[in-house]
Amino acid sequence: MTAAEGAWLAFHVPVPAAPFRLFCLPHAGGGASLFHSWGAELSPLVEVCPVQLPGREGRIREPAVPSLRPLVARLADALSGYLDRRYAIFGHSMGALLGFELTRELGRRGLPAPAHLFVASYCAPHLQRREDRAGTVRREAAKRITGVQAVPAEIKGELLDLLVPTLEADTRLCEGYEYVEEGALSCPLTAFRGNTDYVPADDLAGWRELTRGPFQTQTFLGDHFFLRETPRGVVQAVRRALAKSA
């Protein structure tokens, strides 16, 4: 593993005997810390590989990538060296879109398909409607930062200034995405959402059209960020799905 490859993974603890690796992709503005506890939950079946995108947490000084295609190409370059065993991909919100296009890109390169693709809280890409969210980015960022307890107000302001450029880049990435028709995926696909998620159940169910493999949906208590509040149910669902194909 080169230093460049290693920069893409955080909180990664190798589990040499695990039959699967799980690459975890965060929501817009989010980082790999969202998945830092998953390794302990899923070992020894799964070696969890939280992906750290540029522009956040340990890579905060790097500019975020505001376009999907270049980001997916860089991800494929970085992760292709980790495909020496069976693997799965999990993506939350924007991470679901990245996971879908990463799966397609790896297929174009003749690399193995994932054993499972897990997506959460994101409309099926071919149903995605353009939505101008640029004006709400700072408000959304402020809501997330001010919700963090035990952080002085002046520090919250500094965090907001650091977070907004990344959120703006992530927003441009999602808004600029254009679905291109290709053959359906071959892997199993599971789609999750929160019961008060702003992603409608019908839009989530649309993922069914994008794979020839088995498909299911599952709803958990919570809103769009249910994964932060009640991750255990999702982690158990991932474990069950991968154990079936181990």
Region 50-78 average pLDDT: 95
Please report the pLDDT score of residue 51 as a whole number: 98
Number of domains in the chain: 1
- pLDDT score of 5 more than 80: no
Please report the pLDDT score of residue 175 as a whole number: 87
**127, 203 contact by CB (below 8 A):** yes
The full DSSP string for the chain is --HHHHTTB-S----TT-SEEEEEEPPTT--GGGGTTHHHHHTTTEEEEEB--TTSGGGTTSPPP--HHHHHHHHHHHHGGG-SSEEEEEEETHHHHHHHHHHHHHHHTTPPPPSEEEEES---GGGPPP---GGGHHHHHHHHHHT-TT--HHHHHHHHHHHHHHHHHHHHHHHT------PPB-S-EEEEEETT-SS-HHHHHGGGGGBSS-EEEEEESSSTTHHHH-HHHHHHHHHHHHHHT-
Residue 80 maps to a domain: yes
Residue 198 maps to a domain: yes
Rounded Cα gap, residues 246 and 240, in angstroms: 10
Residue 142 maps to a domain: no
- Which range marks the domain in which residue 46 is found? 3-125+184-244
Which of 47-61, 124-138, 147-161 is predicted most confidently? 47-61
Region 99-110 average pLDDT: 98
Residue 93 bears catalytic tag: yes
pLDDT band at 214 (very low <50, low <70, confident <90, very high): very high
Region 182-188 average pLDDT: 96
Residue 147 maps to a domain: no
Please report the pLDDT score of residue 128 as a whole number: 83
Task: Give 5 or 201, the one with higher predicted confidence.
Answer: 201
Residue 178 maps to a domain: no
Q: Percent of the chain beyond pLDDT 70? A: 85
Mean pLDDT of the chain: 88
Q: Percent of the chain beyond pLDDT 90? A: 72
Please report the pLDDT score of residue 246 as a whole number: 80
The torsion of the CA quartet 229, 39, 193, 196, rounded to 10 degrees, works out to 0
Please report the pLDDT score of residue 245 as a whole number: 87
What would the pLDDT profile of 135-182 be if each residue is shown by its tens digit?
A: 444 445 555 554 444 445 555 556 667 778 888 899 889 888 999 999
What would the pLDDT profile of 7-43 be if each residue is shown by its tens digit?
A: 999 999 999 999 999 999 999 989 999 999 999 999 9
Please report the pLDDT score of residue 68 as a whole number: 96
Residue 11 maps to a domain: yes
Please report the pLDDT score of residue 93 as a whole number: 92
Please report the pLDDT score of residue 201 as a whole number: 96
Please report the pLDDT score of residue 171 as a whole number: 87
pLDDT band at 133 (very low <50, low <70, confident <90, very high): very low
Please report the pLDDT score of residue 190 as a whole number: 98
Query: What does the radius of gyration of the chain's CA atoms come to, in whole angstroms?
Result: 17
Catalytic residue among 93, 121, 186, 245: 93
The tokens of 149 are what? Answer: 């307890």
Region 196-206 average pLDDT: 94
Residue 150 maps to a domain: no
- The domain that holds 119 is classified in CATH as 3.40.50.1820
Residue 164 maps to a domain: no
